[in-house]
């Protein structure tokens, strides 16, 4: 990869309001790494500690207090005090780009970038939420400012630096040729991928509750991602395996299936492999690389192809009331998974589509596709 390796050192001070933010560590593609203070780092490397000690920010607490409570069923998700739509298109939050680095190889079919924006604690969000970005400039078609685009947040609630003052995104640069043979560039994705440190970014949100994590720290969480659909799951997994939280310690099973076209597009691979080293009994990791891998029958290895290798095990997990499925990525991926489950469910006399409706109703089947 021609992109220069980048190392960011984050020596985290004690958080405001008596917090105990210690440090954060992750080994990311192309040398994009966060190294902790010496003592905490040695603990993580030796499998003793997990890194960041998280505290709820005073901003988030204050914002949550303003949310009106409604009489409704108790959610199984971590939705208490969740803030939504604090910033809207007419009055967005203006952050700054702190870091923007390409995380796919030179031979990858397209570019994907990891970027970190400052929030100064003014944009409290949770793992699984999204933010809107309003790109600079005017829409040539109507002469009006560009509309916002939504992106899943790729960082945990305390951010990549562990101080609750940043938010991160994972963005693929959209470039394609239209029917007229013209090269078309996606407005917002190219705006974001071209950002330089120090540039301003107009942000809205946060939004969304569909993809919030389960409350149960002993849950089985099956995560299905294609491409940049990995973003919310990176946020989940950092909270589970790279951070320490008062009142939350993940003791369940996290199982990630990530589908990509080539090995050079396996986003955050080193981070996930480090997590597996830290918690081998709590984290399973399976990649599906469609242009480079095949199954025993010679079929291309898509995410549903990889899942089919574990279909019986997955079906048994899906029959448990503490198993949660999260899916994020390209529209259409759900159908491939339905095709696997229909026959398995039928063997037990269960109609899969009806069963899936029940899973959705009980918040155990969560989908965010585009």
Catalytic residues: 151-152, 328, 368, 370
- β partners of residue 72: none
The C-alpha atoms of residue 165 and residue 153 are separated, in whole angstroms, by 14
CA distance from start to end of the chain: 29
Residues 6+ apart with CB under 8 A from 140: none
**Are 128 and 235 in contact, with CB atoms under 8 Å apart?**
yes
Distances in Å between the Cα of 150 and the Cα atoms of 133, 189, 369 are 6, 11, 12
The residue among 367, 332, 361 whose CA lies nearest residue 75 is 361
The C-alpha atoms of residue 169 and residue 131 are separated, in whole angstroms, by 9
Rg (CA), the chain: 20
Segment (H or E) for 102: strand 93-102
The residue among 154, 165, 92, 169 whose CA lies nearest residue 122 is 165
Residues 6+ apart with CB under 8 A from 127: 78, 153, 156, 157, 212, 213, 232, 235, 236, 239
The C-alpha atoms of residue 81 and residue 178 are separated, in whole angstroms, by 45
């Amino acid at each position: 990869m021609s992109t220069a390796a980048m190392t960011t050192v984050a020596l985290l001070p004690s958080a405001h309001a008596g917090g105990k933010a210690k440090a954060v560590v992750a080994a990311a593609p192309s040398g994009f790494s966060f190294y902790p203070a010496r003592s905490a780092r040695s603990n993580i490397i030796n499998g003793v500690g997990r890194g960041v000690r998280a505290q709820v920010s005073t901003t988030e607490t204050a914002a949550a207090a303003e949310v009106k409570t409604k009489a409704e069923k108790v959610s199984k998700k971590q939705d208490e005090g969740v803030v939504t739509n604090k910033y809207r298109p007419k009055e967005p939050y203006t952050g700054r780009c702190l870091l923007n680095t390409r995380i796919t190889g030179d031979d990858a079919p397209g570019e994907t970038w990891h970027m970190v924006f400052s929030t100064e604690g003014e944009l409290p969000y949770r793992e699984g939420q999204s933010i809107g970005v309003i790109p600079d400039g005017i829409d040539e078609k109507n002469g009006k400012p560009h509309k916002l685009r939504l992106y899943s947040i790729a960082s945990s609630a305390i951010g990549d630096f562990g101080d609750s003052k940043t938010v991160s995104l994972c963005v693929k640069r959209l470039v394609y040729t239209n029917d007229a043979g013209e090269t078309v560039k996606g407005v917002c994705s190219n705006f974001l991928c071209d950002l330089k440190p120090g540039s301003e970014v107009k942000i809205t949100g946060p939004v969304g509750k569909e993809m919030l994590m389960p409350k149960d720290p002993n849950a089985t969480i099956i995560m299905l991602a294609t491409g940049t659909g990995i973003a919310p799951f990176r946020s989940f997994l950092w909270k589970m395996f790279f951070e320490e939280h008062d009142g939350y310690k993940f003791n369940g099973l996290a199982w990630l299936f990530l589908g990509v076209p080539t090995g050079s597009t396996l986003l955050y691979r080193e981070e996930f492999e480090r997590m597996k080293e830290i918690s081998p009994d709590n984290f399973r990791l399976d990649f599906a690389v469609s242009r480079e891998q095949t199954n025993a029958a010679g079929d291309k290895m898509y995410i549903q192809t990889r899942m089919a290798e574990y279909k019986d095990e997955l079906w048994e997990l899906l029959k448990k009331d503490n198993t949660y499925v999260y899916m994020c990525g390209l529209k259409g991926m759900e159908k491939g998974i339905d095709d696997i489950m229909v026959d398995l469910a039928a063997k037990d006399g269960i109609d899969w589509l009806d069963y899936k409706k029940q899973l959705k109703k009980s918040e155990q089947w969560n989908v965010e596709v585009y």
